Amino acid sequence: MKKVLILGANSAIARAVGRIYAEQGHALYLVGRDPAKLAATELDLKVRAKAPVFSLASDLTETSRHAELIATAEAKLGGLDTVLIAHGELGSQLDAQKDVAATMRILNSNFISQVSLMTLLANNFEHKKSGTLAVITSVAGDRGRKTNYVYGTAKGALSIFLSGLRNRLCSFGVSVVDLRLGFVDTPMTSSFKKGPLWASPEAVGKAIVHAISRGDDIVYVPWFWRWIMLIIRSIPETLFKRLSL
Ligand X SMILES: NC(=O)c1ccc[n+]([C@@H]2O[C@H](COP(=O)([O-])OP(=O)(O)OC[C@H]3O[C@@H](n4cnc5c(N)ncnc54)[C@H](OP(=O)(O)O)[C@@H]3O)[C@@H](O)[C@H]2O)c1
Please report, as ranges, the residues that interact with ligand X according to CB under 6 A: 8, 10-13, 32-34, 37, 59-61, 86-89, 109, 136, 138, 181, 183-184, 186-189
Residue nearest to ligand X (CB): 88
Min CB(134)–ligand X separation in Å: 12
Give me the long-range contacts of 150-156 (CB less than 8 A, separation at least 24): 150/91, 150/93, 150/96, 150/103, 150/106, 150/107, 151/90, 151/91, 151/93, 151/106, 151/110, 153/107, 153/111, 154/88, 154/106, 154/107, 154/109, 154/110, 154/111, 155/88, 155/110, 155/111
Min CB(111)–ligand X separation in Å: 10
Separation between Cα atoms, residue 7 and residue 11, nearest integer Å: 9
- By C-alpha distance, which of 194, 86, 89, 99 is closest to 151? 89
Separation between Cα atoms, residue 167 and residue 46, nearest integer Å: 36
Alpha-carbon separation of residue 26 from 53, 87, 92 (angstroms): 9, 21, 36
Separation between Cα atoms, residue 195 and residue 96, nearest integer Å: 27
Min CB(168)–ligand X separation in Å: 23
- By C-alpha distance, which of 158, 130, 165, 126 is closest to 142? 158
149-169 vs 113-128: helix crossing angle, rounded to 10: 10
Is the Cβ of residue 1 or residue 102 nearer to ligand X in the bound state? 102
Q: Across-strand partners of 57?
A: 32
Is the Cβ of residue 77 or residue 184 nearer to ligand X in the bound state? 184
Is the Cβ of residue 63 or residue 128 nearer to ligand X in the bound state? 63
